[in-house]
Amino acid sequence: MVSMKIVEKNSYFEVIWEEQVRDYINQSSLGLNEQEILLQFGRTLGQHDFTQQQKHIQLTIKHLERELEDARDDQDKYGKMAKNLGFLTGLFIVLLLI
């Protein structure tokens, strides 16, 4: 589908990449940091030799892994908070009924 857009619009890869990333971001739960990482990756594709390209791919993977770690940390933190809030709400209701 993407290759057809390049041929139909006679567009550059970077423009099509940005459109597709923005469409994907709108359909997913990824945030602005992930969007910027993917857009930056698209800007570097095809700009360097093979070894440099491998380095850019590895760097992008590292950035996305860091974002995943941050998201998991937030999930743990807010998950514990929600669990405690549920427990305290239940305790409050029990105390009101007594």
- Tens of pLDDT along the chain (98 residues) come to 555 655 566 568 888 889 999 999 889 888 889 999 999 998 888 888 899 999 999 999 999 999 999 999 999 989 888 889 999 999 889 888 88
Residue 48: CA count within 13 A, CB half-sphere: 13
**CA pair distance 32, 41, nearest whole angstrom:** 14
